[in-house]
Amino acid sequence: MLRGRLVTGGSVVDDGVLAVAGDRVAFAGPARDWTGALPAPAPQTLLLPGLVDLHCHGAAGHGFPDADVAGVRAAAAHHRARGTTTLVASLVSAPAAVLRERLAVLAPLVEAGELAGVHLEGPFLSAARCGAQDPSALVPGDPALLAELLAAGRGTVVAMTLAPETAHRAELVDLLRAHGALPSFGHTDADAAEVTAAIRAAAPGGRLSATHLFNGMPPLLSRAPGPVAACLAAAARGELVVELIGDGVHLSPETVATVFDLVGPRAIALVTDAMAAAGMADGSYRLGSLPVVVRDGVARLTGGSAAIAGGTARLVDVVRATVAAGVPLADAVLAASGTPARLLGRQDVGELAPGRRADVLVTDPDLNPTAVLRAGAWVQREES
């Protein structure tokens, strides 16, 4: 049994109790409602639901787009030890043969419950807004290729980023949904009208998101509002959820706070976009086939573009930065737990409530992790 400030479902219980039975939450609520023996009050302890990261490329020196099984496990373990108890492994655009090979590596780990699924970030993206994606690996939307990749993934592909202007968009969206996967629009050079039309066509069919809003797309301008305005308006209408990389590098704190004010935490999924350098020192790394250099914790492609090449933060770090930006704690936690869980179609994680999987992140008042429970078992801690 745990006692502290219970933060879940968009609310805070200042004196809360959490009880676990096996791998499930048995009770989560005010201490006054608990009928058994009580531990001492712990007002300096925060009890959060295990975090849910929909967009992550690796950590601890290992990247999901290229690591072997041991490396994938090490990267996942690094995030898990810091409270991300539900982690989707993101790939980057690559030739079909490489994507098939990566799916063969990752699928067994998803099936074993070590990962929550695979996210295909490409290859049906805009070359003009490819960011840290290899432009030579980008191809127009190809339903046959997507069907092949979904089959290779054996049901483990849970999301795909595609540009709304890519060929056969509607067919691709329908195919993803037929396989239970989340379509996410991003890495796009389309204008606001085209993105709005794509969202309105896709939204009635089910879950929909926008990949790392603001990043990998044109900026919002007064006479060219672009994808940012289209996605914000759609999020305000309840038609899609926007990802935000609220790490203080990809977006300014003011931008993050503004989006929370505009659309609220139930329309925002905080993500890391973390790559192999997360948890590591500055130095040279790779993101898929592309070389990356990390200086002062910021990952950028080497060479001419110097584009930001993923993140180096963990999701708890993103939550901490979001709170520092002025977002209420309960809202930041909801956007890193309940909202992404809902996007994944998961009803067993993302909230501390009876019957949910017993995933708990215990932190100090500054959101520094002190312990992690996953499925009722304590996660081995790593040195920070």
Query: How confident is residue 381, by pLDDT bands cut at 50, 70 and 90?
Result: confident
Contact present, 143 and 174 (Cβ < 8 Å): no
pLDDT at 279 over 80: yes
pLDDT at 382 over 90: no
pLDDT at 305 over 80: no
In the predicted model, what is the mean pLDDT of residues 45-51?
Answer: 98
CA angle 126, 120, 77 (to 5 degrees): 135
The least confident of 131-135, 182-186, 254-258 is 131-135
In this predicted structure, what is the pLDDT of residue 369?
A: 98
In the predicted model, what is the mean pLDDT of residues 313-335?
Answer: 98
Compute the distance between CA of residue 92 and CA of residue 236 in angstroms, rounded to an integer: 29
pLDDT at 60 over 80: yes
pTM to 2 decimals?
0.97
Q: Which element (helix H / strand E) includes 178?
A: helix 169-178
In this predicted structure, what is the pLDDT of residue 383?
A: 55
Contact present, 133 and 92 (Cβ < 8 Å): yes
Tokens read off for 233: 């308006």
Looking at residue 357, what DSSP letter applies? B
CA angle 61, 65, 70 (to 5 degrees): 55
Query: How confident is residue 111, by pLDDT bands cut at 50, 70 and 90?
Result: very high
In the predicted model, what is the mean pLDDT of residues 56-69?
Answer: 98
In the predicted model, what is the mean pLDDT of residues 207-230?
Answer: 98
Pairing of strands 209-210, 182-185: parallel
In the predicted model, what is the mean pLDDT of residues 148-172?
Answer: 98
Looking at residue 93, what DSSP letter applies? -
The least confident of 26-40, 138-152, 226-240, 298-312 is 298-312
Query: How confident is residue 306, by pLDDT bands cut at 50, 70 and 90?
Result: confident
pLDDT at 361 over 60: yes
Contact present, 57 and 93 (Cβ < 8 Å): no
pLDDT at 303 over 90: no
Give the amino acid at 107. A
pLDDT at 384 over 80: no
Backbone dihedral region of 282: left (phi > 0), alpha (psi from -120 to 50 degrees) or beta?
Answer: beta
